Structure 1
């Protein structure tokens, strides 16, 4: 394969090295501290670059055909068609198009970005996954440039500032959900940002069929950000106009970023589904997760007697700090039965939830993080006339009501950890390990 003579010598050498299966010539085309970004992975230095060439190209019998050159300032982007043996490892249909985005300094390559899209267009940093791994979801996370989205008619572009992490993102990494995820997907279900005109906004996360005539949480086509469309864990996201809600000036951006999923779910569970009134007693199965801390704070602000459970003393103390009247060890028998129980876990806590609610009371559930096979004394349900209520997210009006309630009661949503985007895997691992103390957010 002959490359254009106009290409810098080092770029030609690197590209020819791929076709010649020569990893030594490939890596010596780069400066000693050069970086390569490919599929969300960053490699630095000659040893890593040589290893990359062997694993990514030579071991797959890769070959490239030159297609085009795009020059953008000090970057040379070479479009190629690549062939090889990629189907078994990656499921890639061959041949396929790649763009090699080179940056040179002093005649050596200092960086190379490899993308399946034209990187001469506006890009952004994003956290995304392109395949599922049910056993090791963290391994699917990639942080790399992606194309900036262009809003279609009726949609708006939002520059993201802070994004809340949710267990829903982990389900996506595992390939789970009401519908199979359409990879590649940018993660992130909620967050706060700013419109192009400078308006600060919160994002309502639910979307669906615009022609559905009914409550949006019952829409058969409903989905949230990062399920069927790209999510918020990027510098920019596009959403329907109806999904942006102005942020009150008094509401901190970090606080605003967590209201879309966990806090909206908790609000609907408490105010729409439970039937509780001020002065009644509620039990929260947990005291340190996103939904559970929101339930404690909302219930306390609404005048409920809030009890919570926690696996550790530290978690129970957090529940008390956030407004719970009493905190109990997980599975501990309560001194009296409560008017409503809020269960986000499922299998591990369900029997205790049913045992803890008084006759005529309610058990409200929004998740099954510990498993969905529920043991239950069914006779107790009808003999004691228990109300078992499922809850899914919340409506746009409930989202607006939640914001108003938070402002009226001067609630500061508890955020246990703020991380840079580069450490998003640390946050998700803490969630998987159960080492949370409230919501975890990342700054963009």
Structure 2
């Protein structure tokens, strides 16, 4: 079967062919080359596993502009005062020690015919396989009155690091009795429980430092991940502090004025002392540059995480459109291992096993009050499909909730070690 890079549909037969095809023989350049763009949960994991498990047979280059990577997962705990910022920051020395060539630069172009990636600094990286794991960007005009030029006044803090520091500082500077407003995003978006864990962490801080403050959430969605669990926790820990405005109460009709620090919800202007605007999201821009997007996201074949548009490109994590898995760090890490195995199989002829995936999303409501939701998944010809799942229950005792939180801390240590070595 001859596969066309610009029209790779990814039917079951095509996926099977991609998994069983003879491996690529290196040409005059020597070892086959893999370029990975994006050094988060998907990209760092993929780069590490390809380099580690190929035992030097594949040349692996990771392109990531930042030298210190801050995880979005657990950044809410920093905002709530449960973590230091340094505890969620990670460098790439461990990957370099395992044979990954780490290039700190921006990828600004992909030539799929020449199979090259262009860097902002002028370099050009050839590849036999390309892995894109750029995370998210924001949809222009998603929240009227807001764009990225307003992010210093109304931070999104959905790319961790300086934005997290800024939002935390604004919350700490709120006057007594002030108002914090969140504009929540529409589906699909990175980390479905994330905005609501953030509300919990903001409330935790305010309860202890500004107990008469108010929190307002303007939400375009009629429901959200772990909704009953969050609302139960808000009532138990922060009774009367948090007001959620769904679409029936104008949450889907919002405009903002960053200069005036106002949020208009269905015609009613709310003065905000701190405002967290989380816009609608899309795949990181390099996916659009590479021409592998279908709308806002990049469709992939679940068996291998290959792009449905170009079989020489794999797309991981938040940027991918793959089926039932949520956009989370755990998901990206799980998908990266499947992609790494497929890449090694294609380039070295190593065995490729059927793809299996898992995900868990933990959230902290208050001190030692942790909840979780998760599932296992399998690849089908149509999508990554949910097999079974679990979720914390209302009314769990304090000991179980504490154990759930401690479990999340152990997971964080494990996944960051798995990502960065």
Same fold (TM over 0.5): no
TM-score (norm 2): 0.29
Whose Rg is larger? 1
Structure number with higher relative contact order (C-alpha < 8 Å, ≥ 6 residues apart): 2
Identify the structure with the greater strand proportion.
1
TM-score (norm 1): 0.28
